[in-house]
Structure 1
Amino acid sequence: MTTAQPLGYWIKRVDRALDSAFTDAGLDRRAWQVLNTLSRAPAPIADLDRVLAPFLTADDPTTRPHVDHLAARGWARITLDTATLTPEGHQAHQRLAEHVEAIRSRVVDCLAPEEHALLLRLLQRVAARIDP
């Protein structure tokens, strides 16, 4: 007899798989979010922190290390606490956007549209219940 795994197991498994998929691209998820946000326009670090606040944690409370990582790769410049993508950063974003879209497709393509919508509604309900 097979025992079903609890919800937390599946949430953590999906989270780790997504982290791994981004690592395979040479970037973590937070750095991708910073890169993607900066691809639209330069931004002060404080604005990046505000926009990406839902994804920051006590262990990772600011986007600054991720901006610094992008700058070390030559993908961003930081001037007076404002980050701007370099031409190389825009090229990297374009290349990585294709990889991210492939990840999203792998996640979503296994579900019918109504299943995906239902999954999101259920997860939102659970999240609201445990973190009101």
Structure 2
Amino acid sequence: MDKPLGYWLMHLHNLLEEQFARTLADLGLSRRQWQALNFLSRGDATREELATALAHFSTDSGPDPLEGLTARGWAASTGGGAVALTEAGRATHLEASRRVEVSRATVLGGLTLDQYAETMRILSVMAGNVEADLARS
């Protein structure tokens, strides 16, 4: 463990991005599109609700993930400003979900549920410490 926390966080982030891209490449789904698809699988949402739900996943201003979903016929307007998955979107979500679960299992291989929970707790505390420090500045 001769490398600092920042190294491991960025290294893992980059590996996860690559793994995710490979996992869903043949479906033509980007990570942000997957996140939108997954959010909409829970029910209809407005564009604003979707944007709020996805805001913490990315800081880039890349293409609107909803546009990619609607262009493929995976999501459609329901009227009243809401968007919902189509039958094709639900089928794509089901297949993508299966693949994402396999990828997550690979990432967590060799860890107990308690180890994972403790890792999340520790990262949360570190983030809170930095947030508090930044708020003081």
TM-score bracket for the superposition, by shorter chain length = 0.7 to 0.9
> Residue type of the partner of 1:66?
P
State the TM-score, normalized to the length of structure 2.
0.81
Q: Percent identity?
A: 35
- Name the counterpart of 1:113: 113
Instruction: Provide the aligned C-alpha RMSD in A.
Output: 2.0
Runs of 5+ consecutive residues of structure 2 not aligned to the other structure: 133-137
- Name the counterpart of 2:18: 20
1:35 aligns with 2:33: no
1:30 touches 1:66 (CA, 8 Å); kept in 2? yes
Q: Hey, which of these two has a bigger chunk of helix by percent?
A: 2
Runs of 5+ consecutive residues of structure 1 not aligned to the other structure: none
Alignment length (residue pairs)? 127
The ranges of structure 1 where at least 4 consecutive aligned residues each deviate by more than 3 angstroms after the TM superposition are 78-81
Cα distance in 2 for residues equivalent to 1:83 and 1:56? 21
Spell out, residue by residue over 1:64-97, the C-alpha distance to the aligned partner (whole angstroms, 9 max, x if none): 7100011122211135543221111110000000
> Residue type of the partner of 2:32?
R
- CA shift, 1:7, in A, is 0.9
- Name the counterpart of 1:100: 100
Spell out, residue by residue over 1:20-50, the C-alpha distance to the aligned partner (whole angstroms, 9 max, x if none): 1221112222211110111121111001122
- Name the counterpart of 2:61: 60
1:78 aligns with 2:104: no
